Chain A
Amino acid sequence: MENFDVIVVGGGPAGLSAALSAAKAGMKTVVIERGDYPGTKNVMGGVLYTKATEAVVPDFWQSAPLERPVIEQRYGFLSGDETILAGYRDPVWAQAPYNAHTVLRVKFDRWLAQQAEKAGVMIITETVVEDLLYKGDNVVGVRTGRAEGDLGAKVVILAEGVNAFIAKKAGLAPQMRPDTVAVAVKEIIQLPQEKLEDRFCLEPGQGATIELFGDSTQGMMGTAFIYTNKDSLSIGVGALLEPLIRTKWTPNDLLEALKAKPYVKRLIQGGETKEYLAHLIPEGGYNAMPKLHRQGVLVVGDTAMLVNGLNREGSNLAMTSGKMAGEVAAQCIQSGDLSDQGMSLYEQRMRDSFVVKDLYKFRRLGRFFETHPHFLKVYPEIAANAMHLYFTADETSKKERQKQIMKMVFEKRAKGGLVSDVFGAWRAILK
């Protein structure tokens, strides 16, 4: 049986970041990935944040296969055929040090794996890890599905993604529940660069993102998105499983309904669908976060439920957690303390970082939208109605108009409800 210092289960951003930082600290490290190569099975919306990536690979933008730097973030609320828009654009984000890039994971993850290999990491593909190996209560390696498939390790880092098979087996992650996991589907639609840049008012090479709320998910807890790639758009929609099951919407129907919305239709017109992807997103947040360590094991990325849904952040949390896990693994190995207590350094560092701080801050969010469904259905409708009334010039006096709007608002939502909604939102998002 071959022995390693660190075995990483899963070749996504979390796992590869963990492997990179462990290898840089001198650890003999292997990543075990079940796809043909890292990236083949990996899916996200498509925004990669600079800060977290740079911490793992300095100046990554000089060699990584990136699509476009994001210079504009647009937000839309859909209500029927109506759209309310807001957004922010700053061309300075088109230059180093950037803020975020759009990426296609099949290319980016493969590149990240090559960086890990350069740092000395061994990457074994097409191989499934079936379980942890124990000696007494101590984790001493992993068992893979191949013949002579046992590998020894001092520390195993679980970066196996949302399904968390091994973490569940080891009693670290809980069973997924329909209200803590979202299903997202996405298409990659090819469009000529010039058309794409015209439609989004972009200079050559620049990128934009659009997040759509409200009727984009038929009022369900979730969001839709449109991101510009080099010569394609990533368009997708995700919603919590629980309302999907309850309302019997299929993810594909959600996406088709989104593509038929007047505001969206024009953006994707004439494009050819090149790829269709689907993925589960852990949305349980802080309250669903598993224990992040045990003797000889650290848990990172989606496996640890590290996703900030409200701010569409996930890959940065994954990479930050991976980097810390790799460093802590190296530290524990060097000090010889692989006990649960020793490994808790990782959790401590995570709690001190933005990762767990953000998850903690938005810990009430999931529950809030569950108990205040008006935010995703009634309020977009009210706002759209109000704007329609206000912006329609038909010789009604503005004073009369405002009266009409207030009347409409209170018809759709009682005053008491409004107050509780505002308080609830303040508590869930701002407090």
Chain B
Amino acid sequence: MHFVVCLKQVPDTSEVRIDPNTNTLMREGVPSIINPYDAHALEEAIRLRDKMGGKVTIVSMGPPQAKEALRKAMSFGADRAILLTDRGFAGSDSLATAYILTVAIQKIHAEEPIDIVFTGKEAIDGDTAQTGPGIAQRLGFPQLTYGIRVREIDNTSVTVERKTEGGREVAKALLPALITVEKEMNELRYATLPDMMKAAVYEPEMWDAKSLPYDTAEMGLKGSPTSVSRIFPPPGRSGGERIDATTDPKGAVANLVEKVFQENIIMVHPAVKGGRA
């Protein structure tokens, strides 16, 4: 079976800060990592390949330095990695990104038919969760989003347990299909030394805009209807109020009780009459 994993290199958002003066992301010196959800998507693809036989191909869109993320991904045991990199791709929103990835996946599909496309649930630097579904839509594949377990798989269908707001849902789709992956899907592996060594010398394939039949109107800034008007940190929380109880503990407690009701932290049920003096 042929599994394709879409993988994005992202800044480690746990270390990104917002410049309070300019309201822009301060990315300098922030380490780049594989988007954590994508890492779980890759892990699942590799597990299924090991079980079913076949091949795992990784596709990523990003600047040339994203090669590092692809090398790292290869160390987990993938078979092939392709980086879509072109100045014309820069500034793409999730719509344009889904388009760019789809065209590449179509080319891969034409060469070696794909059974499942895996993506992470979302990327931690955007949190939109749109790219995966966007690709499925364009490819015309059924999509199983928020996957937490692959229950069954055979040559014609896959059954996935999905996370929904109210609980779990088990859904089956005919192949080829696209699955977006939650972190609960699996535990990441610790790469073996032979795989590390294979990855250390691996050169990802680089595809630019010219190597595929792209419509330039659909990619980059031109193809991106999303515009970010402003980025700003949420206002910091103001400190709580302190009630000094050193001189008059009784008064302080009365004061506290008063405030608890005033601020509606505790509410008196209308049925309780005279519940409070």
- Please report A residues at the B interface, Cβ cutoff 8 Å: 2, 30, 36, 122-124, 126-127, 144, 146-151, 274
Tell which of B190, B191, B192, B200 touches A122, judged by Cβ atoms closer than 8 Å: B200
| Residues of chain B within 8 A of A150, CB atoms compared | 193
In the assembled complex, B194 has its CB within 8 A of some CB on chain A: yes
Q: Report yes or no: B196 in contact with A36, Cβ–Cβ below 8 A.
A: no
9 residue pairs of the A-B complex, CB under 8 angstroms, read: A2-B194, A30-B197, A36-B31, A124-B196, A124-B200, A127-B196, A146-B193, A148-B194, A274-B29
Say yes or no: is B231 at the interface (Cβ < 8 Å to chain A): no
Say yes or no: is B201 at the interface (Cβ < 8 Å to chain A).
Answer: yes
Interface size class of B (residues with CB under 8 A): 10 to 19
Which of B194, B196, B197 counts the most A-chain CB atoms under 10 A from its CB? Answer: B196
For residue B196, give the distance in angstroms from its CB to the closest CB of chain A.
5
**Interchain CB contact under 8 A, B31 and A146:** no
Q: Which residues of B contact A (CB under 8 A)?
A: 29, 31, 190-194, 196-197, 200-201
- Chain A binding surface SS class: strand
Could you tell me if B200 and A151 are in contact, using CB atoms closer than 8 angstroms?
A: no
For the complex, give the distance between the alpha carbons of A144 and B29 in Å: 29
A30 to B198, CA, bound (A): 13
**Residue from A36, A124, A147, A274 in contact with B197 in the complex, judged by beta carbons closer than 8 Å:** A124
**When the two chains form their complex, are residues A146 and B200 in contact, meaning their CB atoms are under 8 A apart?**
no
Do the beta carbons of B193 and A148 come within 8 Å of each other? yes
- Smallest distance from the beta carbon of A36 to chain B beta carbons, Å? 7
Main DSSP-derived SS at the B contact region: loop
Task: State A36–B33 Cα separation when bound (angstroms).
Answer: 11
CA distance A274 to B193 in the complex (A): 35
Q: How far is the CA of A124 from the CA of B191 in the complex (A)?
A: 12
| CB closest chain-B residue, reference A30 | B197
Residues of A within 8 A of B196 (CB): 124, 126-127, 146
Give the distance in Å from the alpha carbon of A127 to the alpha carbon of B200 in the complex: 12
Complex: A386 Cα to B176 Cα, angstroms = 87
Which chain A residues border B200 with CB–CB below 8 Å?
122-124
List the A side residues contacting B193 at CB < 8 Å.
Answer: 124, 127, 144, 146-151
How far is B196's CA from A147's CA once the two chains are assembled, in angstroms? Answer: 10
Nearest CB of A to B62, in Å: 18
| Residues of chain A lying within 8 A (CB to CB) of residue B192 | 146-149
What residues on B are CB-neighbors of A149 within 8 Å?
A: 192-193
Q: Are A122 and B194 in contact (CB under 8 A)?
A: no
CB-based closest 5 A-B pairs: A146-B193, A147-B192, A149-B193, A148-B192, A124-B196
CB distance from B263 to the nearest CB of A (A): 38
Q: Are A146 and B201 in contact (CB under 8 A)?
A: no
Which of chain A's residues has its CB closest to B31's CB?
A: A36
Roughly how many angstroms separate A144 CA and B192 CA in the complex, as a whole number? Answer: 10
Please name all residues of chain A whose beta carbon is closer than 8 Å to the beta carbon of B29 when the two chains form the complex: 274
A127 to B199, CA, bound (A): 13
Q: Which residues of B contact A127 (CB under 8 A)?
A: 193, 196
B190/A2 in contact, CB under 8 A: no
How far, in whole Å, are A30 and B193 apart by their CA atoms in the complex?
12
Q: How far is the CA of A245 from the CA of B190 in the complex (A)?
A: 39
Nearest CB of chain A from residue B238's CB, rounded to whole Å: 25
CA gap between A144 and B195 in the complex, in Å: 13
Contact pick for A147, options B31, B190, B201, CB 8 Å: B190
By beta carbon, the residue of chain A nearest B28 is A274
- State which of A30, A36, A146 has its C-beta within 8 Å of the C-beta of B190: A146
Closest to A123 in B: B200
Which residues of A have CB within 8 Å of B190?
146-147
Within 8 Å CB of A151, what residues of B? 193
What's the minimum C-beta distance from B234 to chain A, rounded to whole angstroms? 23
